[in-house]
Amino acid sequence: MLRRAAAMAVVLLIVLTLVFFLMRMAPGSPAYLIVGADASPAEIASVERELGLDKPLMVQYATELGRILTGDLGESIFTGDTVSHELMLRLPITLELTMVSLLFWIPLALIAGRVAAARRDTPLDATVRIIGNLSIAVPSFWLGALLVLLFGLYLPGVLPSSGWVGLAEDPMGHLRSLVLPAFVLGLGTFGVTANTLRVSMIESVRTDYVRFGHAMGLPERRINRSLAFRNSLLPTTAVVGQLVGVMLSGSVLIENLFNLPGMGRLLVDSIRRQDYPLAVGATLSLAVFFLLANLIVDILYAALNPRVRQKFAGT
Partner 1 sequence: MTTITSTRVRVGPRRRLVVKGRHVKGMTVIGVALVSCYLLLAIFGPMFTVDPLQRTGDPLAGPSAAHWFGTDHLGRDLFSRVAAGARVSVLVAVISVGIGLVFALPLGVCAGYFAGRWPDELIMRVFEAIQTVPLFVFAMVVLGITGVSSFHLGPIEVSAAGKIILLIAIAATPYFARVARAATLAEIQEDYISALRLLGVSRRRVIMDELMVNVLPPVIVQSCLWMAVAVFAEGALGFLGVGVQPPTPTLGGVIADATRYMMAGAWWYCVMPGLVLLVATVGFGLLGDGANDLLDRGER
Partner 2 sequence: MTTEPLLSVRDLDVLFDTARGRVPAVRGVSFELAAGEVFGLVGESGSGKSTVLSAIMRLLPGVAVANASQMNFQGSDLMSMSAGQLRGIRGTGIGLIPQRPMTSLSPVTPLRKQLRWFLGDMPQSEIVDLLDQVGLRAVAERLDGYPFEFSGGQLQRLLIMLAALARRPSLLLADEPTTTLDATVQAQVLRLILDLRDRLGLGVVFVSHDLGVIAQVCDRVGVMYAGRLVEAAPIGELFDNPRHPYTQALLRALPSRYKRGERIKVIEGTAAGANRLPGCAFAPRCPRAEAMCREQEPETRSVGGALVRCHFPEDAAGANKPKEAAA
Fill in the per-residue mask, 220 to 239: x = in contact with partner 2 (CB under 8 A), - = not in contact: x-x---xx--xx--x-----
The site partner of 234 among partner 1, partner 2, none (C-beta below 5 to 8 Å per kind) is: partner 2
Fill in the per-residue mask, 277 to 306: x = in contact with partner 2 (CB under 8 A), - = not in contact: ---------------------------xxx
Which stretch in 22-30, 79-87, 106-114, 174-182 sits in contact with partner 1 by CB under 8 A? 22-30
Helix or strand (DSSP H, E) at 208:
helix 208-215
Contact flag: residue 218 with partner 2 (CB under 8 A): yes
Report 195-234 residues binding partner 1 (CB under 8 A). none
Count the site residues for partner 2 by CB under 8 A. 25
Report 150-169 residues binding partner 1 (CB under 8 A). 152-153
Smaller CB separation from partner 1, 100 or 248: 248
Q: What is the DSSP letter of 82?
A: B
Binding site residues, partner 1, CB under 8 A: 7-8, 10-11, 14-15, 18-19, 22-23, 25-27, 133-134, 136-139, 141-143, 145-146, 148-149, 152-153, 245-246, 248-249, 252-253, 256-257, 267-268, 271-272, 279, 283, 286-287, 290-291, 294
